[in-house]
A and B are shown apart, each in its own frame.
Chain A
Amino acid sequence: MFQKEVRRFAEAELTPLVDIMDRENRFPHEIRPKLAAMNLYGIPFDPMYGGAGSDHVSLTLAQIEIAKVLAPLAMHMQLQHVVGDRFNKLATEDQKLEWMPQICEGTKVGCFGFTEPDTGSNPKMLKTTAVEESDCFVLNGTKRFITNAPWADVMCVFAKLEGDISLFFVETDLPGFSTSPKMDKLGLRGTDLSDVILEDVRVPKDHLMGGKGGKFDALKDAMTIGKLCLSAQCVGLMQASLEEAIKYSMTRMHFDEPIFNLQAIHWLLAEMASRLEAARWLTYRAGFLKDQGIDTIKDLAITKLFVTSTAVDVCRWGMQVHGAYGISKEYKIERLFRDAKMYELLEGTSEIQRELIVRRLPR
């Protein structure tokens, strides 16, 4: 029922936004109240904090349906969940009561700052620093590839404090907080991405989340939600690719019959459908494990590794079915192909996922 509702919502409300995000590379802020009205900003969070009180399987289903129509918007939703989850797990009760309802209502937008120009996926290379003063922490550094940054209200910032990684939430209107011009990129356009520059940003002491140090685990935990959402978004892209490929092949005539009748097309569609189902069930399983509270770092790494690379293949095959029309702006498939490529590199590259998996294999 929930899945069908989100599907109806996505098809009706998000379809008109596709060109705004992809062609104009602009985020349609007018959609935020509608996403909030559907409870799509805080699906697994307690209603006491403004959430829908549901679970991660539901989050997975919603992400699939949203991404099937407009993946970058699902990415925006993902960030709200990642930031909301940090508050849920690490903030004080008062902070949760203050911030989480605003995040779930979409009146406050969050962004998540770990990656830096020289770190990539490597936490040891983190250069952003936090220095404790009598009444605050002073943050300095640069964060890179930060989604939502140009207009976010609050940012979760990882920084080195006394030699260890700590996590802060930083209101973006503080003096010293600035963003670079937004980056133009291959896919997931409309999700504004930029650098964040922190220059002597004075953060109140109670904005240190979960105490000093030891927050590499908080990063890995946050990334499990990110990876779950990314994987679900890839499933949505694959589903859309398959549907588009079928639709096109049924109507495209070649040699006096629809190309759907050609065996070469059968093979492509069958491969797409098989990989999609494998990816879909692996992703459902990841959501289920997250709900069970089982250590999901390995399982989410496996899911992300498989699903994101599979999405690139499936969307490429979808383009191949379209022939020359696949590369033109007149068909949806080229956007799905560009969007799919972005996922291989987000929330840790495939190489990092392999490392995370191998370290956790039974020996």
Chain B
Amino acid sequence: MDFKLTDEQVKLRKEFFDVCEELAKQRPEGFTGLEGVYDTDEGWEYHLWCAKEFAKRGWLALGWPSEYGGQGTIMDKVFLAEATGYHDVPGVDIFGEGMLAPTLFAVASEEIKREFLPSIASGERMWCELWSEPNAGSDLAALTTSAVRKGDEYVINGQKAWSTGAHRAHWAFALVRTDPHADRKQKGITFILFDMKTPGVTVNPLLYMDTGHLYNEVFLDDVRVPAKNIVGEENEGWRVTQTLAAFERSNLGAIMAMHRQLEHLVDYCNETKVKGEPLARNPLIRNRLAQIACELWAAHALAYRIADAQSKNEMALFDASAVKVFSGELQARMAQLGTDILGPYGQVKQSKWASFEGLYEKWYQQSFILNISMGTNEIQRNIIAWYGLGLQRMK
């Protein structure tokens, strides 16, 4: 691959960073990451406002075909992810723009695409994913939420878990079981879209360890959904989920967020004196910062390689697993380093005592998410071993 960006790419990337820097000035105090988006009303309003700002520039349809209002390439989308990650700016709906839109392009009917894509591009409709269940996480195909066809509707019953942002989202894309008698559990699953205000939808919080409201459990009791809202064919929902490879999966947003954190720490160490000497002169701290910088640049290079492969439609299934494991575990080490350097001040919640608005106390707790969400690292390593290395499948 060629790491050199074209002049046009450099210019556009800079524009992304400049706009995000401006948007970041309006960020509510204490806002950070996905929890910032979903936990408070202020964070959600900020997310919607940023989405509008991106939409009016056409940035929520990057890499889309032009007949659906798209512009640019998937690499442009990667650059925007870098900018939003670095400046900790929301506005890009990871479910609607990030996951659903590529799925619709891959498998949906023209009618569905024409109905649902415009509101994603305009940032007006936000989505959540209703996939996992209490007993179907890493083993997703074990899901049991049922959808029974009655006339021109499906009647859905069941319980979903770990539904990020379901308490804020306007619509959901769900996996439901439409054929309980299929010979394999991967068969008989259907991918369906519905309004979260539909009668029978109840959302309860599943509080994160820092008490943030990011996740939910969603109860579906006789939820009636028009049959035309299925994506792909009935009972072929599992195949729809396999189009995940088309998503932007480089993790560059998270990696750029770490770059920013590293810059924070470097500034802090240059400015903070211990025993009359700047922390920057402490050999142990220098060593650890240098080490994390090496790992961060390795993650960055890996992510760029994957983004490049993806843009050429050459990405292997295990590529996304590799960058997820590497950058997820790096994020945990980064948070560990930050709290080590800040000492007790890094463990105090937002207050006059806390450095960086108490964000390190949050980041330490949030640094665990990447290692378990969207398939735990154990599952990812299994995928790498199986698809990537050609080791025999476990079962």
Contacts and interface: CB of A to CB of B under 8 A. Distances in A.
B369 interface: yes
Interface string B345-363: 0111101010000000100
B347 A345 contact: yes
Given A185-B349, A264-B378, A327 B364 contact: no
Contacts of B373: 324
B349 A186 contact: yes
B340 interface: yes
Interface string B139-150: 100100000000
A255 B379 CA distance: 12
Contacts, number: 104
A122 to B, nearest CB: 5
Interface stretch (A50-58, A154-162, A236-244, A328-336): A328-336
B122 interface: no
B206 A345 contact: no
Contact of A183 (B162, B339, B353, B376): B353
Contacts of B207: 328-329
A190 to B, nearest CB: 14
A326 interface: yes
Contacts of A350: 340
A323 to B, nearest CB: 5
Nearest to A145: B344
B365 A338 contact: yes
B11 to A, nearest CB: 40
A15 interface: no
B10 interface: no
Interface residues of B, number: 45
A285 B240 CA distance: 58
Contact of B139 (A125, A255, A316, A354): A255
A185 B340 contact: no
Given A185-B347, A320-B376, A328 B275 contact: no
A344 B340 contact: yes
Contacts of B381: 264
Given A316-B368, A323-B372, A344-B340, A254 B139 contact: yes
B284 A184 contact: no
Given A319-B368, A323-B372, A323-B376, A122 B274 contact: yes
A312 to B, nearest CB: 8
B209 A185 contact: no
A341 interface: yes
Interface in B277-300: 282, 284
B208 A327 contact: yes
A357 B136 CA distance: 49
A141 interface: no
A122 B275 contact: yes
A329 B351 CA distance: 23
Nearest to B215: A328
A329 B323 CA distance: 29
Given A122-B274, A328-B207, A183 B351 contact: yes
B171 to A, nearest CB: 23
Given A324-B137, A334-B209, A125 B348 contact: no
A203 B44 CA distance: 54
B215 A316 contact: no
Contact of A120 (B132, B138, B343, B369): B343
B369 A125 contact: no
A124 interface: yes
B371 interface: yes
Contacts of B142: 254-255
Interface in A345-361: 345-346, 349-351, 354
Contacts of B361: 185-186
Given A327-B209, A328-B209, A349-B340, A255 B395 contact: yes
B372 A120 contact: no
B135 interface: yes
A50 B332 CA distance: 46
Contacts of B346: 345
A122 B276 CA distance: 10
B6 to A, nearest CB: 41
B343 A349 contact: yes
Most buried by B among A122, A144, A185: A185
Nearest to A194: B353
B392 interface: no
A342 interface: yes
Contact of B348 (A185, A324, A329, A337): A185
B211 interface: yes
B206 A341 contact: no
Contact of A330 (B206, B282, B364): B206
A316 B332 contact: yes
Contacts of A187: 347
Interface string A245-270: 00000000111000000101100000
Contacts of B395: 255
A224 to B, nearest CB: 20
Contacts of A324: 132, 137, 161-162, 372-373
A330 B361 CA distance: 20
Nearest to B339: A341
Nearest to B205: A329
A190 B83 CA distance: 40
A185 B162 CA distance: 26
Contact of A320 (B137, B343, B372): B372
A241 to B, nearest CB: 14
Most buried by B among A120, A184, A186, A344: A186
Contacts of A145: 344
Interface in A294-331: 312, 316, 319-320, 323-324, 326-330
A334 B206 CA distance: 13
A186 B347 contact: yes
A125 B209 contact: no
B364 A186 contact: yes
Contacts of B138: 254, 323
Interface string A177-201: 0000001111100000000000000
A330 B205 CA distance: 11
B275 A125 contact: yes
Interface of A: 115, 120, 122, 124-125, 144-145, 183-187, 253-255, 262, 264-265, 312, 316, 319-320, 323-324, 326-330, 334-335, 337-338, 341-342, 344-346, 349-351, 354
17 contacts: A120-B274, A144-B353, A183-B348, A183-B349, A185-B361, A186-B347, A254-B137, A255-B395, A312-B336, A319-B372, A323-B372, A327-B208, A338-B365, A341-B364, A345-B340, A345-B344, A351-B282
Closest 10 pairs (CB-CB, A-B):
A334-B209, A184-B349, A264-B378, A186-B347, A329-B207, A254-B139, A186-B361, A122-B275, A255-B139, A145-B344
Given A254-B139, A329-B209, 4 more contacts: A144-B344, A184-B348, A344-B340, A354-B284
